[in-house]
């Protein structure tokens, strides 16, 4: 019984780390993958570097062509920011 009591703080600490750090990160990663998979032509997006544009073409190799004020550019789907794109597409209040 003493051995279990000595491991209890360690187990509790691991549980707290899992609930507050690991699990939310896994959920966010899953949402970002789903966002990248759900992209379609015509979506207005913002890249993680801050480039605003519209998706013109989606390729099977994980890239997409985005049209912006500077012209057409090729990006990886993972370079598109989920949060910034959702903010841009949100209805104006």
Order of strands, edge to edge, in the sheet holding 63-68?
Answer: 44-46, 52-58, 63-68, 71-76
Prediction pTM value: 0.70
Q: Residue ranges per domain, the chain?
A: 1-38, 40-93
pLDDT digits (tens, 9 = 90+) for 4-20: 788 889 999 999 999 99
User: Which class would CATH give 40-93?
Assistant: mainly beta
| Residue 88 or residue 78, greater confidence | 78
Residue 92 pLDDT > 70: no
By CB atoms closer than 10 A (0-12, 13-18, 19+), residue 46 is: buried
- Percent of the chain having pLDDT more than 90? 53
pLDDT digits (tens, 9 = 90+) for 67-79: 999 899 999 998 9
């Amino acid at each position: 019984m003493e051995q279990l009591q000595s491991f209890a703080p360690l187990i509790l600490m691991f549980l707290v780390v899992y609930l507050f750090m690991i699990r939310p990160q896994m959920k966010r990663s899953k949402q970002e993958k789903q966002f990248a998979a759900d992209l379609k032509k015509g979506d207005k997006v913002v890249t993680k570097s801050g480039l605003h544009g519209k998706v013109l073409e989606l390729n099977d190799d994980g890239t997409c062509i985005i049209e912006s004020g500077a012209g057409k550019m090729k990006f990886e789907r993972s370079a598109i920011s989920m949060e910034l794109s959702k903010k841009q597409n949100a209805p104006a209040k």
